[in-house]
Each structure stands twice: as structure tokens, then as C-alpha cells.
Amino acid sequence: MHNKLLKHELHFNEECAKEAVAHMINEDGTNGPHWTVEETTSAANQYGINLTSGKYNKWDWYVAMNMIYSDFYKALVSITGSASTKHFVELTKAWLCDKDIAEGKMWHYYTRIMLDEEEDEVEHDEYDNHTEHEIHTEYTTHNKHAHPSKHRTTYIIYR
């Protein structure tokens, strides 16, 4: 991948979203995205989910809905008896609308959990300290009483 610096404000853009879902290992035995962004956006619209609310955007939704499918497919089918898109939409909405985090939950999860796991795997496999993703986070506050995450800029450097 080319060297490029991407700036984010707690949300995915198209390029990072597609990169994130491309590496998912799904519970149904497949890899990569189960749905396209057009399909996840259509599902959100069908069930009245606002993708311009500020809490998440269409790319966050795309990554989250594919992650929910990837990680919880077997559990949802076992509980509900079907693989209805509606079940995945409802669980994705519940996951993203977590009242314990103001916004950017999918971005935080990706940069702090998913990429950290990739870096740990690289270290454990004794590669030469080169990872596909490097994360650099800068905290800036204009008010000493403000929470740093409200003013965080995260950069991902792709190599």
C-alpha cells in the first residue's frame, strides 16, 4: 500500500472503512465485507436510522454492520432462528448508540482494539517491527478543563 497520511475526527472515511472490513474473518466462514456500503445504507434507511446524526456516519455504519455480522452471525442465528438483515441492523444500532460514549465508537474500537490486535500479532510472530498500520494520536485542548477526546485528531499511516 502507498505511504499516505489520513486525518480523522472520530469517524471513518471511505478508504479506511473499506480497508477495515476487507480483513474481517466472518463467523459464517467467509472473509471481508458481507454487505456493500450501498446495502448497509439502504438497510439503515429502510429501518429509519439517521446516518447524519453526528454520532456516526455512513462509513461508521458500514464498518459496524459488517463487524456485527462478522462477529455475531452464529449467535444471532442461534437466538433468532434466522439471518434476517433486520436483526443485524438492530444490533448494529444498539452497539453504535451506546450512551456511554458520545461519538466515534466504531472509530475508537477500530483504532484501539482491532489495529492493536494486528500489531500484537506482528510482535508475537517476530516480524521486523513493520506493521500495515501505524497510529498517531494528537491531543489538543483549548480549554484545560475539556476532555482530550473531544479534541483528538488521529492519523493512520498506511504502508
Q: Could you report the per-residue pLDDT of 60-115, keeping only the tens digit for each? A: 999 999 999 999 999 999 999 999 999 999 999 999 999 998 889 999 899 888 88
Q: Three-class SS string for the chain?
A: CCCEEEEECCCCCHHHHHHHHHCCECCCCCECCCCCHHHHHHHHHHCCCCCCCCCCCHHHHHHHHHHHHHHHHHHHHHHHCCCCHHHHHHHHHHHHCCCCCCCCHHHHHHHHHHHHHHHHHHHHCCCCCCCCEEEEEEECCCCCCCCHHHHEEEEEEEC
pTM above 0.85, yes or no: no
Q: Could you report the per-residue pLDDT of 25-39, keeping only the tens digit for each? A: 999 999 999 999 999
